[in-house]
A = this chain, B = another copy of it.
């Protein structure tokens, strides 16, 4: 068992420290669909954060991630860390000693020109997206969607880590 963060998994896979760069972070109001997903009221405040995970010494994005966090469910310190700085969510949770579990919601492949440009891959390269919830006290604390080019993690020496990475959040039985 591990701290279970994608950040740390990427550090294992790449053998190098991973850092988070925040592209966007703002408070938004939940629309009908988002409110239903997070089990909050329409109009409730959500922290919307968009980040890119990269290796420390390399500008090449590894993963693009969007997260939605109902503000009212955050402890003050967690909220501070999340809104203030480029700290991976897994690390904030470890520091704040938050007990949680994860549940995957869906996995899909799409074409996305904007993200293709971000990753520097051709527009025809399929993007893989995984959406999952971090659940604490039986409520969704954070909904995360992670996206990366299908080709990003397929160069491992023995086997196909891409498949494994895709499955990484899936309760396996």
Bound CA span A57–B21, Å: 40
Q: Is A94 an interface residue (CB 8 A)?
A: yes
Segment at the interface with B among A30-38, A71-79, A85-93, A115-123: A85-93
How many copies of the chain does the oligomer comprise?
2
Q: Is the CB of B173 within 8 A of A91?
A: yes
Q: Inside 8 A of A12's CB, which chain B residues have their CB?
A: 9, 12-13, 161, 164-165, 168
What's the minimum C-beta distance from A121 to chain B, rounded to whole angstroms? 19
Q: How far is the CA of A142 from the CA of B92 in the complex (A)?
A: 23
Q: Is there an interface contact between A173 and B87, defined as CB atoms closer than 8 Å?
A: yes
Nearest B residue to A11, CB-CB: B164
Q: How far, in angstroms, from A136 to B137 measured CA to CA in the complex?
A: 11
Docked-complex contact B11 and A5, CB < 8 angstroms: no
Give the Cβ gap from A166 to chain B, nearest Cβ, in Å.
10
Among the 9-residue stretches A42-50, A97-105, A106-114, the one with 4 or more Cβ atoms under 8 Å from chain B is A97-105
Q: Is A83 close to B, CB under 8 A?
A: no
Q: Chain B residues with Cβ under 8 A from A95's Cβ?
A: 171, 173
